[in-house]
Structure 1
């Protein structure tokens, strides 16, 4: 009985976390798209579109995270 309750409770908590993570992801994706749009407005001579810009921004962010992990010894 206690195991079943714990399993149900864990499933409920996991569903909340999944929903929260999706909301955060969607919000950050909108921010990234807005950043790409603003960059494109400020740099009209470039032919990049929203997709290529967001891809470049994501790549730079991942590279920065990897570099930061290396600096901290992690």
Structure 2
């Protein structure tokens, strides 16, 4: 009985986390696209597409996260 309750509770919590993660991802994706659009407006001579701009911004963010992890006190 307790195991069955635990299993159901874990599934319920996992479903909440999945929904939360999807909403966070969608919000961050919209922010990223807006940043790429603003950068393109400020740099009209640049030939990158929205897709390549968002890819470059993502890459820079990941690189920054990796660098921050290597700093003293970083996770």
TM-score by length of 2: 0.94
Aligned-residue Cα RMSD (Å) equals 0.9
Equivalent position of 1:53 in the other structure? 53
Q: How does 1:24-63 map onto structure 2 within 5 Å?
A: 24-63=24-63
* Structure 1 counterpart SS, 2:31: helix
Per-residue displacement from partner, 1:12-53 (whole Å, max 9, x unpaired)?
Answer: 000000000000000000000000000001100000111000
Equivalent position of 1:4 in the other structure? 4
Deviation, structure 1 residue 3: 0.3
Q: Report runs of 4+ in structure 1 exceeding 4 Å deviation.
A: none
For structure 1, the 5+ residue unaligned runs are none
For structure 2, the 5+ residue unaligned runs are none
TM-score by length of 1: 0.96
